[in-house]
Amino acid sequence: MPILVMKFGGTSVATLDRIRRAAKRVGREVANGYDVIVIVSAMSGETNKLVGYVEETSPLFDAREYDAVVSSGENVTAGLMALTLQEMDVPARSWQGWQVPLRTTSAHASARIEEIPTGNITAKFAEGMKVAVVAGFQGISPEGRITTLGRGGSDTTAVAFAAAFGAERCDIYTDVDGVYTTDPRITSKARKLDRIAFEEMLELASLGAKVLQTRSVELAMRYNVRLRVLSSFEDNDENAGTLVCSEEDIVESNVVAGVAYSRDEAKMTLVSVADRPGIAAAIFGPLAEAGVNVDMIVQNIAEEGRTDMTFSCPTDQVKRAEKAMTDAQERGEINFHDLVADTDVCKVSIVGIGMRSHAGVAAKMFSTLRDEGINIKVITTSEIKVSVLVDRKYMELAVQSLHDAFGLERAA
């Protein structure tokens, strides 16, 4: 039998009624001839509640016990989904991560998947089981302790299972009906994409689009797992949602596929740093050790042996970055005149594989922002994206104007 992986997010299983609705979708796929692996998240709001319990009980908590507690939400959903399918006369059973077993590293709360042996579930399919309901987000460490994969880890679980079992497709059911050219809450002209390339989806996810978790897209691209993003609240036919696939499976696309934004960005500038070999390593080494996620980096032209170094990072990591830089200066590793943090900025990006073969895309982006009176503070580019840092008050205007300028409301 061909295998299909179906993943249901927290909003899709938030109540018993929604679990029943999801179970009916699974039942239809079983009737279509599939053996189905269902990956479930915790019911909406449950993980946040469990995290709150842990933090209230032990502010300096043991990460191993944290994982034991917060992973329990998925166990509940998996059991309820299996029970619901059984009531529909669909042979199903639930699986916790350790029962598969989904083997991970020992990095509690942010473990990475190392192996998914297929033997246990395959044997049950051979015995007549039609649906394996697997608790997402969790696994087991080499030491035999429960681990979790980090927030959004159920997406990663689903893609990993699809890769391990050679699934025909991995369907991600969520509260939106696909991937859009930008956030529909910002512009009503946002258009749902029928298909998007792995690379484009990976850039959009990393730049602020929240439809899919970045790690799940990386995994899908590495193992060529066809992903389909669907709404769990609408009736879907075989062409519904957005298919995330290889570039070769897309016949024609716009030069720019989408506009992404990240609201919570900060711009930090080290003023008057010595311009010498190794200065970048001396700055960004301590930042990396402190767990600061640096994105954009700009170094000004040196004057009289001094230069300014600017970088961006999430706003909630500014204090950490400031401490790392101050500590490095006290140790004599770097010397700077001042450290200036601007926490009132945002990042706006355009993404598209068509940029590889079309000139003038960046120029069009910059002229569009100029015409709207939006000043660009920092720029960074890759082969298929251009990102800029601008004042946060201009975020919506920037997104709307770029969406219009590249005609994203129209299909290619």
- Tens-digit pLDDT profile for residues 207-251: 877 788 888 999 999 999 999 999 988 876 667 899 999 988 887
d(CA 137, CA 155): 8
Q: How confident is the model at residue 30 (pLDDT cuts 50, 70, 90)?
A: very high
Lowest mean pLDDT of 293-307, 321-335, 381-395, name the range: 293-307
* Res. 375: pLDDT tops 90: yes
Which pLDDT value is given to residue 290? 92
Query: 205: pLDDT confidence band, cut at 50, 70 and 90?
Result: confident
Mean pLDDT confidence for 112-134 = 97
How much is the average pLDDT of 330-337? 92
Q: Assess whether pLDDT exceeds 80 at residue 330.
A: yes
Most confidently predicted of 94-98, 147-151, 270-274: 94-98
Residues belonging to the binding site for substrate are 47, 74
Residue 302 has pLDDT above 80, yes or no: no
DSSP β-ladder status, 297-299 and 242-245: unpaired
CA-angle at 72, arms to 67 and 76, nearest 5°? 165
Give the model's pLDDT for residue 115.
97
What pLDDT score does 176 carry?
84
**Helix-helix angle 72-87:16-31, to 10 degrees:** 60
Residue 219: predicted pLDDT:
94
Question: Looking at the DSSP assignment, which residues form a beta bridge with residue 379?
Answer: 388
- pLDDT value, residue 350: 96
| pTM of the predicted structure, to 2 decimals | 0.84
Quick one: CA dihedral 338, 348, 251, 240, positive or negative?
Answer: positive
Rounded percentage of the chain residues whose pLDDT exceeds 70:
99
Q: Domain spans of the chain? A: 3-251, 259-405
State mean pLDDT over 137-141: 97
Sheet holding 103-104, edge to edge: 113-115, 103-104, 138-140, 146-148
Tell me what pLDDT residue 233 has.
Answer: 86
pLDDT in tens, 147-176: 999 878 999 999 999 999 999 999 999 888
Question: What is the arithmetic mean of pLDDT over 164-191?
Answer: 93
Q: Note the CATH number of domain 3-251.
A: 3.40.1160.10
| 3-state percent helix, strand, coil for the chain, nearest multiple of 5 | 40, 25, 35
Q: In which band, very low, low, confident or very high, does the pLDDT at 180 lie, cut at 50, 70 and 90? A: very high
**The predicted structure's pLDDT at residue 102:** 98
**Cα-flanking dihedrals φ and ψ of residue 323, to 5°?**
-65, -40
pLDDT for res 324:
95
* pLDDT class of 85 with cuts at 50, 70, 90: very high
Give the per-residue pLDDT at 389: 96
Question: Which residues fall in the annotated binding site?
Answer: 7-10, 47, 74, 174-175, 180, 185, 210-211
Per the annotation, binding residues for ATP are: 7-10, 174-175, 180, 185, 210-211
Is domain 259-405 in CATH 3.30.2130.10, yes or no? yes
CA angle, residues 243, 245, 247, in degrees to nearest 5: 130
- Distance, in Å, from the CA atom of 162 to the CA atom of 226, rounded to the nearest integer, reads 9
